[in-house]
Amino acid sequence: MKARLLSSLILCGALAGCGDHSMFRQNRYGTFSKAALFKNGSEAQPLPVGVVAQGDLARAEAAGKPPPVDMALLSRGRERYDIYCSPCHGYSGRGDGMIVQRGFPAPPSYHSDRLRAADAQHFFDVITNGYGVMYSYAARVDVRDRWAIAAYIRALQQSQHVDVADVPELRSKLP
Amino acid sequence: MPTEEMGSRILPQPPEVDARVVLTVVGGFLLIVAAAVVGLLVFLKADVPGALAPKRERPFPAPTLQTTPQGDLAKFEAAQHEALSDYGWIDRDRGLAHVPIDDAMRMIAARGEHAYDPLPGSSDPPADAGGGKR
């Protein structure tokens, strides 16, 4: 009996000596911390050369194949555009979104000659890679959605620039 | 007692104070002040341009406080959506109009294979107000 008590007491003492059991301090690097383990001394490591993430191939394929444009795709593009692009580019694409009113550099209007003449691939690439002070939206906007947004930008451009000669039925609706 | 002493010193005024001396001192003081004021005016007029002209009010900008951010955003978005929701002329002479975005989406969808292609015709509509500084 006495020996048992003694051994359990000793065990308690030994356990107490094991240090911090709270799991607050784990044996790992914190975000943005220094890391002696790696050559560049940083915890954040780029992907090793040649790595292909899951779904990369499918994404690369979708990037080269614009989906056919129908109302569903355009509606999707409109929704995504209003979420991700309108804060800067404005709902009508004039580059006068709320963030610009608050001092962010003004983007060019989609209704300028240059961007009306730009092909859809350019819009896709700008979303993927960013452009000038505009950062990339690749992480937020899926490949198919990028094409949807590109198509919707065409619709925006169309809505602010219709040649009435091409659409005779428009005459009756105009003031 | 000190207070009584003081009282007795102040009241009454002894009759032998000469009123002319008092008047001379006060008059002299006023003269010096008048001379100083006149001198100052002469100096300002001669050497400090604009000092004597009446100052114009300088309006300063109102503080850029936003008292109702939600209301401002709602108003802003309503204004932006309005540009996408009605028919109107952009340039009547050239036959250019703007149409609601739903119509435009139908027009783009109707282009079928060529939906992504750049739109025909160019030259900026005057409605192109905001946008790039380049």
Within a domain: residue B101?
Answer: yes
Q: Are A150 and A124 spatial neighbours (Cβ–Cβ below 8 Å)?
A: yes
Domains belonging to chain A, first-starting first, are 71-164 (1.10.760.10)
Supply B37's token pair: 């004021």
Alpha-carbon gap, residue A105 to A117, rounded angstroms: 23
Residues B47 and B80 in one domain: no
A117/B122 CB distance under 8 A = yes
CA distance B78 to chain A (A): 10
Element (H, E) at A162: strand A162-163
Place of tokens 């000793």: A10
- Predicted local distance difference test score (pLDDT) of residue B126: 43
Q: What is the pLDDT of residue B26?
A: 96
Instruction: Look at residue A34 and give its three-state secondary structure.
Output: strand
Residue B35 falls within a domain, yes or no? yes
Residues of B in contact with A161 (CB under 8 A): 90, 96, 98, 119, 121, 125
Split chain B (134 residues) into runs of 10 and give each run's mean pLDDT: 54 77 96 97 89 82 81 90 89 90 94 89 46 35
pLDDT of residue B128: 41
Helix (H) or strand (E) holding A160: none
The runs of H, that is alpha helices, within chain A are 2-16, 56-64, 71-80, 86-89, 98-101, 113-117, 120-129, 143-159
- How many residues make up chain A in this entry? 175
Examine residue B98 and state whether it is found in any structural domain, yes or no. Answer: yes
The label of the residue with tokens 């080269």 reads A64
If asked whether residues B74 and B104 sit together in one domain, one would say yes
What contacts A134, CB < 8 A, 6 or more positions away?
A88, A107, A126
Domain count, chain B: 2
CB proximity under 8 Å: A 54-83 to B: 66, 68-71, 74-75, 78
Alpha-carbon distance values, A6 to A10, A16, A19, A149 (Å): 6, 15, 22, 74
| Residue ranges making up the domain that contains B106 | 69-114
Residue B116's pLDDT is: 94
The structure tokens listed for A1 are 């009996």
Token pair belonging to A29 = 């690097």
Strand partners, B96: A163, B91
**One domain for residues B48 and B75:** no
For A110-152, what is each residue's pLDDT tens digit? Answer: 999 999 999 999 999 999 999 999 999 998 999 999 999 999 9
Residue ranges of chain A whose pLDDT lies below 70: 1, 9, 12-21
Cβ(B107)–Cβ(B97) below 8 Å = no
Q: Using CB atoms, which residue from A106, A163, A175 is nearest to B130?
A: A106
Domain membership of residue B27 (yes or no) is: yes
A91: nearest CA in chain B?
A: B80
Query: Is residue B28 a part of any domain in this protein?
Result: yes
Q: How many Å apart are CA A121 and CA A66, to the nearest integer?
A: 9
> A20 CB near a chain B CB, below 8 Å?
no
Give a yes or no: residue B104 inside a domain.
Answer: yes
ipTM field: 0.72
- For residue B58, being part of any structural domain is answered with no
Select from A75, A109, A117 the Cβ nearest to the Cβ of B131: A109
Question: Which backbone phi and psi does B89 adopt, to 5 degrees?
Answer: -85, 140
Q: Which residues contact B4 (CB under 8 A, 6 or more apart)?
A: none
